[in-house]
Amino acid sequence: MNQYDVIILGAGPAGIFTGIELAGTGLKVLMLEKGRNIDVRKCPANSQGRSCVHCQPCDILCGWGGAGAFSDGKLTLTTEFGGILNEYMPKKKLEQLIYYIDTTYLKFGATEKVYGDNYQDEIRKLQRVANAADLSLIPARIRHLGTEKCVQILTGMRDFLEQKCEIRTSMPVAEIIIKDGQYRGVQLANGEFVYSKYLIAAPGREGSEWFAEQAEKLGLDMVTNPVDIGVRVEIPATVMEHITNIVYESKLVYYTKSFDDRIRTFCMNPYGEVVTENNDGLITVNGHSYAEKKTDNTNFALLVSKTFTQPFKEPIAYGKYIARLANLLGGGVIVQRLGDLLDGRRSTPERINRGMVVPTLTDATPGDLSLVLPYRHLVAIKEMLEALDKVAPGVNSRHTLLYGVEAKFYSSRPKLNNVLETQIANFFAIGDGAGVTRGLAQASAAGVLVAQEIKAREM
C-alpha cells in the first residue's frame, strides 16, 4: 500500500508553498502534478513561431510551477485583490501571510525592487483623477519577477523540494476517494491507488472543471463565484507610463452606467506581449511581461464579472461556451481595432496593418468581437475604455487593439472553513482552480495557511 501523511494535488504556487512549509517536519509528503516538470515544459508554438498545436496537457498551463511559471510573475503584495482569502481570515493575518511568502520568494531569488513604494503623493493624484471618471484605483505594492526570472525561482523551489518530499509529474489524478464520509486517498489516471491522512487539492485554473466535477461527486456544497469574461487590450506603452512607472499594475474598477455591471483591469503588462493559452483545447488570450525583454506596447485585460443565480449553476461551461465561439469564428484568438468595433465592422489584416499599434500576438485572426461577446459585455468594455481615457488619454483610441476572448475559469468553490478545509475532514482546497485565489501571492499564502494547520495538528 502506498501510504503517505500528506498528498498535494497540483504543483502550482499553492501546492509548492504547502510543500515548502511542510519540509523538515518529518511528514511523508507526495506531490502529484498532471503536467510535466519545469525543465522540460516547452510550448512548441512559442519556440517554433507556429500557432497552437493543442498539446495535452498544455505545457503553458500545466506542469511544475502551474500556469504562472511562464507568466510575468507579479506578486501583488496586498489584501485588496488577487483572491478572496480575506473572507476566511482577518486582514491582519492575511497581511502577515503575504509578507511571509514574499520573504520566501526573496530567498529563492526574487528581485528586490517593489513598485508602489515611495509614491504616495503621486498615487493620491492618480486616485483623484480616477474618481472623477467614476473609477476606483486600488494601489498595490507589486514585486515583479519577470517571466524568465519566475522560471528560475520555481526551478530553485523544485530542486529544494526534491530533497524533502516525493514529486511525481506527468501524473494526473482520476478520482478522490471518500469512504464512509472520510477521506482515504486518490486514484491516479494509471489505475494506481495512493493513500494519506491529509489531502490538499491545489488545482490551477486549468484544473477547475475537474475539481468542480470531483466536488459534485463527493456531495460538497459549492459556492458559485462570478464569471470573468472580457478582452485583452493592447496600446502603446507610452499611454500608460505615468501609471505603470509608479504602481506597475493598476487595479481600476468601474460599474457601468447601463447595467451596473462590474468591470476591472486585470494583469497589466507594461512593455509586454500578448500570448495565447490552451485551456484543454480552447484557445484564450493572456499577457506577459519580462524582466529584461521589452516591447513598445502595454497590455491588460478588461474583465466583466457576472454572478449567476438559480437555476443556472455552470459558470465555467458558460465561459467556455463564449471562448469556443471565438475559436469557431477565428480559429483561435480574434483581434479587432477598437475603431472597427465602434463602426460595426470586422477588422481585416489590412486595417490592422494600417493601425498605430503593432500587435505582439501575430497569429490572432482579425475579426469582429461583437459576434462573440454578449451585448452587456460589449457595453461594459466600451464604457470602461471611455472612463480609462480620462485617466490615460489614448486608451480609447481607434487604433487600440482588442483581443478576445479572455476568460478565467475559476468560478466554483467548495464551502470551506477558516483554514480552507472542506466539509470532509482533512481534505483542504486551495489555489485558483478551487476558486479562492486569483494569483501568485494569495495562492502561495493559502498553501502556507493549510500547511501550518496540518503542522499544528501533527506536531
pLDDT of 52 reads: 64
DSSP character at residue 421: B
Other residues' Cβ atoms within 10 Å of the Cβ of residue 23 = 16
Grid coordinates representing 14 are: 499553492
Cα 388 from chain centre = 23
Overall average pLDDT of the 69-95 stretch? 88
CB 406, CB 286: distance < 8 Å: yes
Residues in the chain: 459
pLDDT of 1 reads: 62
Overall average pLDDT of the 120-133 stretch? 94
Cα radius of gyration (the chain)? 21
- 250 vs 214, more confident: 214
Overall average pLDDT of the 80-107 stretch? 95
Domain ranges of the chain: 2-110+145-223+414-458, 134-139+226-408
pLDDT of 48 reads: 45
Cα 395 from chain centre = 24
pLDDT tens string 341-384? 999 999 999 999 999 999 999 999 999 999 999 999 999 999 99
Confidence of residue 147 (pLDDT cuts 50, 70, 90): low
pLDDT of 359 reads: 98
CA pair distance 152, 348, nearest whole angstrom: 40
Instruction: Of 61-65, 87-91, 192-196, 440-444, give the lowest mean pLDDT range.
Output: 61-65
pLDDT of 50 reads: 55
CB 405, CB 285: distance < 8 Å: yes
Does the pLDDT of residue 388 top 70, yes or no?
yes
- 437 vs 227, more confident: 437
Mean pLDDT of the chain: 91
pLDDT of 357 reads: 98
CA pair distance 12, 431, nearest whole angstrom: 8
Domain 2-110+145-223+414-458: CATH superfamily is FAD/NAD(P)-binding domain (3.50.50.60)
In the chain, the percentage of residues whose pLDDT exceeds 70 is: 95
pLDDT tens string 18-64? 999 999 999 999 999 999 999 888 877 665 455 667 777 777 788 89
* CA 225 to each of CA 179, 186, 307, 313, 450: distance values in angstroms, whole numbers, following the listed order: 29, 26, 7, 10, 22
Closest CA to 303 of 384, 239, 371: 384
Does the pLDDT of residue 118 top 60, yes or no?
yes
What are residue 332's DSSP bridge partners? none
Does the pLDDT of residue 195 top 80, yes or no?
yes
CA pair distance 265, 274, nearest whole angstrom: 15
DSSP H or E segment with residue 268 = strand 262-269
In the chain, the percentage of residues whose pLDDT exceeds 90 is: 70
Residue 174 phi, psi (nearest 5) = -85, -40
- 81 vs 98, more confident: 98
Grid coordinates representing 99 are: 509578507
* CA 349 to each of CA 337, 352, 359: distance values in angstroms, whole numbers, following the listed order: 11, 5, 11
